[in-house]
Amino acid sequence: MKLNKKAQATAVYGLFAILLIFALLVIYWYFFVIPTANITPSKESLVAQEKLNYDILLLNYLKTPVTVNENEIFMSDLIRLYRKDASYKEKLKEESLKIFDKTMDKKYSLEIDGDKLIGELEKSEGSIISQTQIPGNENIVLELRI
Amino acid sequence: MKKGIFLPMLAIILLIIIGTLGMIFYGDILKSKNEVVGEKSAEVINFITESELNYFYIKDSARLAWCDSLVDMSSGKNIPCIYNDYPIWDIGINKNEECDPADYKRRFNAYFKDNFEKYLSRKNISFEYDLDVNNKKILPKNNVEFEKQIGKLSIQSRQNPIVNIELLDNFDDFEVLLYCIYKEGREECLKEIGAKAVFSDENAKIYEYKSIKNPCDLKDINIVFGIEKTLAS
């Protein structure tokens, strides 16, 4: 079939239009679809979720009742006692280990005002840090590293 | 203009419009997916736990402030009636209100306010409350709020932290003591409840009532008080 000149021009322009649409689809795919495949938005949420668990663990640790010299006090009180009087260190270690060894399935360390109290991780190690302060003569800083 | 060019031009214009819209729309989706599901939710979760730890800080500060106030009460901190380091309870006719033993709840409130605010100010926490000394409760007047700005999003955490201070029965002890002090035959009554005279001179007689355990540091707090000699017997 032989087309006249006008029909030939229309066919060429039509083909050009189709190629342009195809080119746009490729660009669209390249810039907008492929990048979504590399996004892992859940990763940060998972880390936050894990940190949440350790923050709650730290909170419950501070609220745990403990018997010291036949008096029932809380772990937060025992920490304050230890900061005033180092002779409470062994008692604090013992009670802290009871709580953390039951709940932790990863390597961890607990630091009080920068001094490591229990755990296997060295200072500056650990990917998750759960930190809080309790009142005392000066505020006491607790860090749980996992 | 040639008629044949109309279709490709239309296609190009459409492509530009669709492409631009697509870029804006998809760019926003990508950004929001990344921020909301990842970063922002992580920040929201962190904020929630930070707030919980701050509420615990308030409750723990309240306990500690209570203990500190017991010590202040026993030493007669900031009151003008101290004799030989002992707080003198003024029960005379022209008595100094500051030293009136019957006023102990108001004094305790004042000590507590100072001590509690000392701890709260370290974390810039604002907390309005009423202290119910009899029931050992701290009742918030308003919700305690913490706020954080995450990008354009402002999130708030609100709680009404009623603090129960299940510590000592020392106020019952005070009530018994006051009963004796204002009773006729005071000396006999004080002896009966176990208050011992530990010091005496021409001006005052000092009694030691009992020793209570400070639950925060496990040290003994002695309830010691003095009465002017003219009123002591």
pLDDT of B221 reads 84
Chain B contact present for A19, CB below 8 A = no
A35, A46: one domain: no
Average pLDDT over residues B26-33: 64
Q: Supply the DSSP symbol for B202.
A: S
pLDDT of B169 reads 53
What range defines the domain where residue A73 resides? 42-145
Q: How far is B37 from chain A (nearest CA, A)?
A: 6
pLDDT of B78 reads 81
State the number of CA atoms in the 13 A half-sphere of B205 facing the CB. 13
In sequence order, the 6+-apart residues with CB closer than 8 A to the CB of A140 are A79, A80, A83, A112, A113, A133, A134
A79, A11: one domain: no
Residue with tokens 């008692």: A91
Query: Distance between CA atoms of B69 and B100, rounded to whole angstroms?
Result: 17
Check A73 against B216: CB less than 8 A apart: yes
CB B223 within 8 A of CB B173: yes
pLDDT of A38 reads 56
pLDDT of A1 reads 58
Check A13 against B215: CB less than 8 A apart: no
Which residues from A are below 8 Å from B8, CB to CB? Answer: 13-14, 16-17, 20
A76, A94: one domain: yes
ipTM over cut 0.95? no
Residue spans of the domains in chain B: they are: 3-232
Query: Coil, strand or helix: which one is A121?
Result: coil
Q: What is the pLDDT of residues A20-59, one digit of tens each?
A: 778 877 877 777 666 665 555 555 566 677 788 888 999 9
Which residues from A are below 8 Å from B218, CB to CB? Answer: 68-69, 71, 73, 81
Q: CA nearest A82: which of A68, A95, A92?
A: A92
Q: What is the pLDDT of residues B56-74, one digit of tens each?
A: 999 999 989 988 988 888 8
Q: What is the mean pLDDT of chain B?
A: 81
pLDDT band at B15 (very low <50, low <70, confident <90, very high): confident
CB atoms within 10 A of CB A94: 11
A33, A52: one domain: no
Query: Distance between CA atoms of B156 and A21, rounded to whole angstroms?
Result: 49
pLDDT band at B4 (very low <50, low <70, confident <90, very high): low
Domain count, chain A: 2
Determine which of A15-29, A33-47, B39-53, B167-181 has the lowest per-residue pLDDT on average. A33-47
Query: Coil, strand or helix: which one is B110?
Result: helix
Q: Supply the DSSP symbol for B88.
A: B
- Looking at per-residue pLDDT, the higher value among A42 and B160 belongs to B160
A23, A84: one domain: no
Give the H or E element holding residue A60.
Answer: helix A42-63
- Give the range with max mean pLDDT: A8-17, A95-104, B89-98, B154-163: A95-104
Please state the φ and ψ torsions of residue B152, each to the nearest 5 degrees: -85, -10
pLDDT of B65 reads 92
Chain A contact present for B85, CB below 8 A = no
Q: Which of B13, B39, B47, B57 to mutate to test the interface with A (most CBs of A within 10 A)?
A: B57
A32, A48: one domain: no
- Give the range with max mean pLDDT: A81-90, B10-19, B26-35, B104-113: A81-90
Q: Which of residues 50-109 of A touch B (CB under 8 A)?
A: 51-52, 55-56, 58-59, 62-63, 68-69, 71, 73, 76-77, 80-81, 84
Q: What is the pLDDT of residues A76-117, one digit of tens each?
A: 999 999 999 999 999 999 999 999 988 888 889 999 998 889
Q: How far is A140 from chain B (nearest CA, A)?
A: 11
pLDDT of A45 reads 63
pLDDT of A90 reads 95
pLDDT of B3 reads 60
Give me A18's structure tokens: 């189709």
Average pLDDT over residues A66-70: 91
A23, A73: one domain: no
Which residues from B are below 8 Å from A43, CB to CB? Answer: 38
Q: What is the pLDDT of residues B80-128, one digit of tens each?
A: 888 888 888 777 656 677 788 878 888 888 999 999 999 999 999 988 8
Q: What is the pLDDT of residues B193-225, one digit of tens each?
A: 888 888 888 888 888 888 888 888 888 888 888
Chain A contact present for B28, CB below 8 A = no
Q: What is the pLDDT of residues A108-144, one digit of tens each?
A: 999 999 888 998 887 777 778 888 999 998 999 988 8
Determine which of A61-75, A92-106, B130-144 has the lowest per-residue pLDDT on average. B130-144
Check A84 against B49: CB less than 8 A apart: no
pLDDT at B36 over 90: no
